[in-house]
Amino acid sequence: MSATIRVRAAVPEDSMAIAAIYAPHVLNGVTSFEVEVPDSAEISRRRAGILELGLPYLVAEIDGEFAGYAYAGQFRPRAAYRFTVENSVYVAERFQRRGVARLLMQELIAQSASAGIRQMIAVIAEPSSSTASVMLHRSLGFEEVGVLRGVGEKFGRALDVLLMQRSLS
């Protein structure tokens, strides 16, 4: 019997759980280009900044346990980009491949569209090793629009970034 995944708006008290989900991605992987793990206070500050822009910040729970989170952040700071967001989605390792990312992304897309956002951009590091993320985004209507070669560096390696885009209008 499969557990029910519940997606809801993140609240300030979620910051520690969000930081705990994010930390392994920073320390052990290239899905994030951060090299130092932000603490819960920094996560809380970032969440507040996203909400001030009227953008969604969501968490997923399975049987009361934090399973993942997603948010729509500013794509670029200039006013001309105000109707375009970049999505981020992270799932705790033990809950991966259970539909958590899909449900988070579906709700993120719906709430972003309701907020008047027209375009969503996925920035996927090391696309050759991020097949699940690429497939998820493709299945949700994102199209590949370009690859930036060697623009990031982590663990002593130059990293490529795949850009995928989806219209929300």
CATH assignment at residue 62: 3.40.630.30
Per-residue pLDDT at 3: 78
pLDDT tens by residue, the chain, 169 residues: 467 999 999 999 999 999 999 999 999 999 899 999 999 999 999 999 999 999 999 999 999 999 999 999 999 999 999 999 999 999 999 999 999 999 999 999 999 999 999 999 999 998 777 688 999 999 999 999 999 999 999 999 999 999 999 999 8
Longest distance between any two alpha carbons in the chain, whole Å: 48
Give the domain range for residue 153. 5-167
Task: Provide the Cα torsion 97, 128, 34, 146; round to 10°.
Answer: -110
- CB contact set of 62 (below 8 Å; sequence gap of 6+): 3, 4, 5, 6, 95, 98, 100
Q: Please state, for a pLDDT cut of 90, what percent of the chain lies above it.
A: 91
Number of domains into which the chain is organized: 1
Q: Model confidence over 94-110: pLDDT tens digits?
A: 999 999 999 999 999 99
